[in-house]
Structure 1
């Protein structure tokens, strides 16, 4: 038996379908006996794994880990399994080991690391564990040899979603994962692509999954959504793709194909690409049920966007603000503030730019994060930006400390280039804006709480007074509105 472990990543009320392990399960289905253990659904996932090991011949424990809380849960369970059942091989895959492979492999409880797309690598690793092939022939695999030396077999070329079978939804109680959200009463999730063709300097996606994006065919996407609607009653969906719309013709084809499903949905998209879409395509997207689109606006300064290698302009972001208002779609703009080369200038220009966006489209949702570097391809574990070097932790335990957890979640990065005064300005501005325009995504917040925060913060926003917003901190603690960037906490 193979155990596919999805460590706990969020509160149970926020849990969604564990797409990462479902993708692996798809290639095992009908070939290998396996069990999915989802930490978001199990009261004690570690004990569940131990019970399976006690009653089955477990060939491999496969662990999927994102940076942050899920990595901590992966670390704790893996360490306990290694202590109690040291004969079971443990393999880590997913975003964390893909961008920090050395840190993952340095853990004594990790035997193998899969970098990037894992479906074929997993199947080949199973062949090797059964003595049918050599470990050094498996692309995408890192491991420690018999002498304890690190071995890296190189990157595996990515395949598109259409080259793999559907997720075996029947192996999970899907109904329990279709939870209420702003978009509907039964919200599903789906991933229709892998990879990213862009090279933003602060992002690790292209380092983990390559610089090409391979898409699922519109026909398959519609078929899977239809399956979720008809068999499980899904009425909404969140697409987890980094860039849901890359080609206008494919966007039209997909939206026209899914319009009859009457789904409300959310996705991520590029500012530059969608700013060039025709009104007809925007109308098609709206008819298909699109309610909100996440855009990485990143900065209000064109010089910063150029240094980030973002490939967009501030004028294009403003155009998106206008177009989304025109078609009744809520834009969710994310900003990464505190560029190391000139954080003070970047901060002030970006805060002014956010105010301009709000004038154009008051419904715009604003997400503000501190700049945090990630390893770029072919770097040896350190994050580099200009003359700034960040020595990342070299073990999962190092990443699990409060300092690096805050860094990972962009809550309190303690960036050496960011003055305390500038950091406070960013944080206080975020508090004022989030109070002046409370997110519509918190479906639990009563109407009076939004009105109270709006009234309490209006004078500060109008007068540009962001310092010492004690009353807003107190009000937010009392009301506890959802913060999109901290949803996983």
Structure 2
């Protein structure tokens, strides 16, 4: 059989595209998606290199030199919407350096827009739709055995004979995550990874993924496009084994659970927390959660186990906007709270209650908000800013709407009439709004930008926000971290 030389890579992407206004706090984390592919390839007997052009600070010229030197037979490139042009450029130099190689694109952008990706990136032979591990191995087997790749499940490709994009049989998501090997940590320079300054309290700190999929249908999110709606989890034992591996082999003192909603399976998380409390190692950790899934019992266990920060998507202080973006899956969330004499909506009360519980327990909260959603007025945006200031979490992130491919918000933005025409994929940078993809017709571009700037300035000048953050400074090294975080968030 033919021996093949394989590479999966993260393309060169500028800090401006990656972080926009937050680039002063920029950081890098291991690219778990392609590392999982490399680990799975190795478990099936294939060697597979991993190149993270971000952490290596490679420019496109450096990537070309690397490819010319190594002459790969099979190259996989991960692709996000805001960096799609960078992925396409990487495919182009890959074709120039390795003209006979099989080149594939994968990730959220090609999965959401397979036909468009194939048409826009002529240097890619295939697009992988959905999870990539099994598809990548199947393609490697075809190359090794010198068979046609067009029978492999989970692909889109350009049919030269029929002059159209064709699809193979859809790939079924991997049902048992325990069957996957760990990401190929040994293939990347783990010592170089330091996350964005807002995402850690202790170093080394590494990301970890315990669950794939998200059952919720928030209109602004495209998470389910690649990983699906059904939740699939590692076993508690395998999850702890992965954390232990990072502690033992890379000295991890903290982790960030990347699960879209860490608390989505309460029984699983409660069992995991209980087991972690009895291990012979201690870690700090942060996670993503929905505020309406939190309660004092769960938060107490999170704090006891080492949770220092929870990132929650509040998104709006307007109940009509929360309903528009389907921020809750139960209709009663948007109705008056029966226990509130003023008839305030249940969801807004729940948000405030659980933020207060976090503050009482000493868990920091990073809350995110979207200003100027379809249908909103200037007054609605001001209501959200006021609500954010009332909650006064340690960190608040304010965004303008970014309707990503694969999200229902894209349809809503089109219907609203505010979606930009003739846009570039670089316009999709979620944190740089000099040329926004969507402009709310009721507010206007300049006013939206003004409100965004005002939200950050007013929020971080609040004495209670300043006080809450100063209280968290207990070590000399915290001072540098908090100064850097303040500069990243405010642009100072």
Shorter-normalised TM-score: what interval? 0.7 to 0.9
Change (3 A) 1:251 1:391: same
Number of the residue aligned with 1:21: 34
How does the TM-score come out when normalised to structure 2? Answer: 0.80
- Within the alignment, does 1:103 sit opposite 2:107 as a pair? no
Q: Call closer, same or farther: CA 1:373–1:179 in 2, change over 3 Å.
A: closer
- Equivalent position of 2:405 in the other structure: 375
Residue 153 to residue 336, structure 1, CA distance change in 2 (3 Å): farther
**Separation in structure 2 between the aligned mates of residue 6 and residue 195 of structure 1, nearest angstrom:** 22
In structure 1, stretches of 5+ residues that fail to align are: 451-475
Matched, 1:32 2:32: no
3-state SS in 2 of match to 1:326: helix
Larger mean Cα displacement after TM superposition, 140-149 or 193-202? 140-149
The equivalent residue for 1:388 is: 416
Aligned to 2:88: 75
Q: Is structure 2 residue 339 aligned with structure 1 residue 322?
A: no
Partner deviation per Cα, 1:389-435 (whole Å, 9 max, x = no partner): 676889xx9313xxx14467556525152323344123212222134
2:255 corresponds in structure 1 to 237
Q: Write out aligned runs for 1:77-476 (5 A).
A: 77-106=90-119, 107-130=121-144, 135-147=149-161, 148-153=163-168, 155-159=170-174, 160-177=176-193, 182-259=200-277, 260=279, 261-274=281-294, 277=295, 279-311=296-328, 313-358=347-392, 363-376=393-406, 383-385=411-413, 387-388=415-416, 398-400=424-426, 404-406=427-429, 412-413=435-436, 415-417=439-441, 418-419=443-444, 420-436=446-462, 437=465
- Relative to the length of structure 1, the TM-score reads 0.80
Change (3 A) 1:154 1:367: farther
For 1:2, the equivalent position in structure 2 comes to 6
**Distance of 2:46 and 2:480 partners within structure 1:** 51
Cα 1:173–1:56, aligned 2, differ >3 Å: closer, same or farther?
closer
Higher relative contact order (CA 8 A, sep 6+): 2
Between the two proteins, the alignment pairs up a number of residues equal to 443
Match of 2:22 in 1: none
Which segment is superposed worse, 196-205 or 160-169? 160-169
Aligned-partner Cα distance in 2 for 1:154–1:374: 25
The Cα shift of 1:85 comes to 3.3
Stretch moving more, 49-58 or 162-171 = 49-58
Q: Give ranges in structure 2 of 5+ residues lacking alignment.
A: 16-24, 334-346
SS at match of 1:305: helix
Q: What secondary structure does 2:123 align onto?
A: coil
